[in-house]
Amino acid sequence: MALSANRQVPTYQGGLVLDYIVTNAVTVYQGGLYDILLSSGHIVVPTSAGDATEKFAGLALEKCVGNAVLKCKFLVGGYFWHAIVSGTVADVGKPVYSASNSDDTITLTGTPATTVCVGHTIAYDADKALFLIAGKLPGTIIDA
């Protein structure tokens, strides 16, 4: 599913705030998870193209409507709390992936051919059913 409005995603210490150019006609929502299209270096909503075409950019810190010039701020390589489809405490330490065509869904299943690794789970809050995610830096390799 794709976001249609901004949302608050709790973050934790660490990471960098970087500016990225947003692809023309792509709307980035605060709290969304986005990829970098390797051919242009611009931000896109995650697709099913996989790791050879896209890399995880980070968590959007503001809303932007792309025009291939406008830059948007992203938390890169930081820590953030997020729900994971069918996740349990037993999934702490596992890699997580962006769902195809979604800027708000993280899953435990993925392959480099069809998904992009977002990072690893490092903690679980059972009361809120949220995982603390250690976000991956663009271009880095995480063993899946």
Q: What is the CATH number of the domain that holds 85?
A: 2.40.300
pLDDT confidence of residue 143 = 40
pLDDT confidence of residue 110 = 85
Domain around 71: 11-135
Is residue 106 within 8 A of residue 85, CB to CB? The reply is yes
Q: Give the global pTM.
A: 0.87
Phi, psi of 56 (to 5 degrees): -65, 125
- d(Cα 41, Cα 122) in Å, to the nearest integer? 29
Residue 107 in domain: yes
On average, the pLDDT of the chain sits at 87
Query: Poorest-confidence range of 8-17, 57-66, 83-92, 108-117?
Result: 8-17
Residue 58 in domain: yes
Tens-place pLDDT, residues 53-81: 888 999 999 999 999 999 999 999 889 99
- d(Cα 17, Cα 59) in Å, to the nearest integer? 9
Residue 1 in domain: no
Residue 5 in domain: no
Say how many domains are in the chain.
1
Is residue 59 within 8 A of residue 74, CB to CB? The reply is yes
User: For residue 142, what pLDDT band results from cuts at 50, 70 and 90?
Assistant: very low
Say whether pLDDT at 37 is over 80: yes
Residue 141 in domain: no
Output DSSP code: residue 22.
B
pLDDT confidence of residue 47 = 84
Residue 54 in domain: yes
Residue 68 in domain: yes
Residue 6 in domain: no
Block residue for tokens 């242009």: 40
